[in-house]
Amino acid sequence: MRKIAFTLVLTAALSACGGGNDSEADGPATNVATESPATAVAMAGKDIYKKCVACHTIDKGGRNSVGPNMHGVVGRAVATVEGFSYSAAMKAKGGVWDDAALDAYIENPRKAVTGTKMAFAGISDAEQRKALIEYLKEQK
């Protein structure tokens, strides 16, 4: 009886070993899979946010500069950062910065909010805007 049990254990160990070798072959892919897709997208968004840092701080309580602080902007009512002097157009826009409103504004600021004083040409790539918005969502 004992001998049979040992043989079974050995067989199991050998096949586990074979499996190990297989997964080693696609090592780099395993590393990528450990990061959730949402995190990877937000990381790409952080890079895209470099286009915004000249005018927008992102840290909590960060000072307003050329533009208002961006911390917690997703879900925030439009034109409500204290101490920032918004254009009349932005003050009149109303609503909340949800995904759709941000997407439209980042794509083409002057088209989405005619008369805005944000001097930014916009980002035409939809994937880049999506990644950027995912990043903004994490800053709260």
Query: In the complex with ligand HEC, which residue's Cβ is closer, 46 or 51?
Result: 51
Q: 104-107 long-range contacts, Cβ below 8 Å, gap at least 24? A: 106/132, 106/133
Sites of contact with ligand HEC (CB under 6 A):
51-52, 54-56, 66-68, 73, 78-79, 81, 86-87, 89-90, 97, 102, 105-106, 116-120, 123, 132
Q: What angle (nearest 5°) sits at the alpha carbon of residue 15, between those of residues 11 and 20?
A: 145
Query: Which of 81, 127, 133 is CA-nearest to residue 105?
Result: 133
Instruction: Quote the tokens at residue 92.
Output: 């009149």
The CB-of-35 to ligand HEC minimum distance in angstroms stands at: 23
The CB-of-77 to ligand HEC minimum distance in angstroms stands at: 8
Query: In the complex with ligand HEC, which residue's Cβ is closer, 35 or 59?
Result: 59
